A and B are shown apart, each in its own frame.
Chain A
Amino acid sequence: MAASISGYTFSSVCYHSANSNSDHEGFLLGEVRHEETVSISDTQISSSELLQVVEVHNHEPCAQLFSFYDYAGQVNEESLNRILKDRRKNVIGWYRFRRNTQQQMSFREQIIHKQLTQLLGVPDLVFLLFSFISTANNSTHALEYVLFRPNRRYNQRVTLSIPNLGNTSQQEYKVSSVPNTSLNYAKVIKEHGAEFFDKDGVMKDIRTIFQVYGALQDKVQSVCGEVEQSERVKEKVQEEVNKLKQQIVLRKRKTTDEERRLQEAQNPEPRLTPEENTEPPETSLLSRVAFHTPSTPERPGPSANPPAYADLLSLQNDSLLPFSSSPTSAALLPRPQAVGSPGHPSPSPLGLGLSAGPNPAPSPGTPYLGNGDGSSSDSLDRQAAGQEDDEEDDDDDSSEYENLVSEVGQLPPVSASVLLQGRPAALSPDGDASVRGSQT
């Protein structure tokens, strides 16, 4: 059960009490509401709580004591009606103010309460007790108040709240309103209410704001449509470009094949056997590229890189062909920049504490292509074979970044995280390429 009283009504009771030089009593007028709150918890589907809310709207002070009862505590119904008149139906309780007494109902009060319950026909009549105490030097005074429900067996005391500006929050949903029976208030609100509500009874402000929201949503939808269209167009054009590239590659292969056949026709024997295993750099590159490209339709450009690098590395060729033939991904591009010159790896490891001994010193002759430390092609081959379709980031073998620690700032963020992951591997005592390779 919850009870509330407005600050003004409460102050008024205090005021009347202060004006009386004896005990003071009166009736509480208001209404009792039953609020049902449905709550859903994990343990059960739904539970509804029935809360009885007592709202005190007004108080009817009695001019003097013993105005409706006698010394024996017998309530006189006539006197009661004389005091209450037509407000009788609004009575929800009564109150009493006493000085220097205990916060308990006196015997007479209990008797009166029982009779009032019967006469007024309010089963859960409440009793509000005010007790006033002061310090010895009268500098500090306290007014204590308790709301009783004497007709109940348990939970006889009820918290009385005073709704105010501080607790009627402006941000939250208003579940209950401040009790109010003022006629003037209702009249003013009604008179001016028409300006805020349109014919459907919806607040005009709400409708306006909703319109703004709707307009914004429409705009979002239309821009989204435009973006979608542009995506499809881009896709189409990209496909056409890829097709053209393939055609060029095929055409070139045809011409080189023809040239080779012509050469073979002129110098037939010695060339035949190694032919299958070794190929001139350009053709090997191109063949590999040609071989791999169709299998990766989604990413024609970047996915062509790994095989190209592997081939070039094995041929000890530091040509810049891979860079020129295919678009470089963002992850791959910074590497040459990181070490300064594209063709030469940094001569010494940077800040990782790698010992020069076990770690094969990168030789100038080793082309810088993904492995700054000149690790063997094993890892790269594995990389090339298994990771065509992977993200560029996966191509970044942990070992590749050993020598680029100091340049991490220039690398894209993902690479930096790969670097961090790769550090333990890089710090392993043996600089075996195979160990590093097993990292991937």
Chain B
Amino acid sequence: MAVSAVHLESDAFLVCMNHALSTEKEEVMGLCIGEVDTNRIVHIHSVIILRRSDKRKDRVEISPEQLSSAATESYRLAEMTGRPMRVVGWYHSHPHITVWPSHVDVRTQAMYQMMDQGFVGLIFSCFIEDKNTKTGRVLYTCFQSVQAQKGSEYERIEIPIHVIPHEAIGKVCLESAVELPRILCQEDIQFVFTKNLCSQMSAVSGPLLQWLENRLEQNKQNIIELQLEKERLTQELATM
């Protein structure tokens, strides 16, 4: 097996969740940026939100241009973090649908694997509700494709995925998160511009702003507490 496991940093996980929960009417998608270590573990440090060129409900494909611009983005990330970064996988959402990849998804994944054996696919299933128990569900899975026998259809193989704690949200992830409104704006420029834009502002930009402000407030609070802690410890050290 080319890939033994996937380690998804929690801030990248956050951006994926943000993106997946941004709409229930269509599937969203993006690319995963990271690196593969010697143990064949794929580390995903960040994601790039992609624009959907084909807005059909059940088809999610990445155009070559998007792949190339994602590669450029990952070079930029590499320079910023000082680590070799590249596109290591892709993710997309399944609103109201089961988390398992469809035949199209499996085939698409197989195609990407021809390019890069270590390429992984992530799927986030959201907006699922069990009406009886009023339980909502969000699922995520990781998979690759394999050809069972020569000449037959592809099937999926499951790849273990773990979300790795990352206390602070990386700069790259923050940038990706706020990229969403801009991407949506670009998508709509051809169509009913004003009306859709207002809707986006209230549904996406607004809550995004709100969350950022909340996060800022929390961080400030935490900093004060940490500084107090630091003072106390310094004093303690001085008396020792």
Contacts and interface: CB of A to CB of B under 8 A. Distances in A.
Interface of A: 6-12, 14-15, 18-21, 57-58, 60-61, 103, 135, 137-147, 157-160, 162-168, 170, 177-185
Nearest to A179: B207
Contact of B210 (A160, A164, A185): A185
A7 B207 contact: yes
Interface string B113-140: 0000000000000110100011111111
Interface stretch (B18-26, B46-54, B66-74): B18-26
Nearest to A87: B217
A194 to B, nearest CB: 16
B172 interface: no
A99 B206 CA distance: 31
Interface string B1-34: 0000100001101100110011111100000000
Interface stretch (B83-91, B147-155, B193-201): B193-201
Contacts of A12: 14, 211, 214-215
A164 B17 CA distance: 13
Chain B CB count within 10 A is highest, among A137, A162, A177, for A162
Nearest to B215: A12
A135 B143 CA distance: 13
B228 to A, nearest CB: 13
Interface of B: 5, 10-11, 13-14, 17-18, 21-26, 95, 99, 126-127, 129, 133-143, 158-163, 165-167, 184, 192, 195-196, 199-200, 202-211, 213-215, 218
A178 B165 CA distance: 30
B213 A141 contact: no
Contacts of B214: 9, 12, 58
Contacts of A15: 10-11, 13-14, 17
Given A18-B13, A162-B126, A164-B22, 14 more contacts: A11-B21, A15-B11, A139-B161, A140-B99, A143-B138, A144-B136, A145-B135, A164-B203, A165-B23, A170-B196, A178-B203, A178-B206, A180-B207, A185-B205
19 contacts: A7-B21, A8-B208, A8-B211, A15-B10, A19-B166, A137-B160, A140-B99, A141-B161, A143-B138, A144-B137, A147-B134, A159-B136, A164-B127, A165-B184, A165-B199, A167-B25, A170-B199, A182-B206, A182-B207
A146 B136 contact: yes
Contacts of B215: 12
A182 B208 CA distance: 9
Contact of A166 (B18, B25, B206, B207): B25
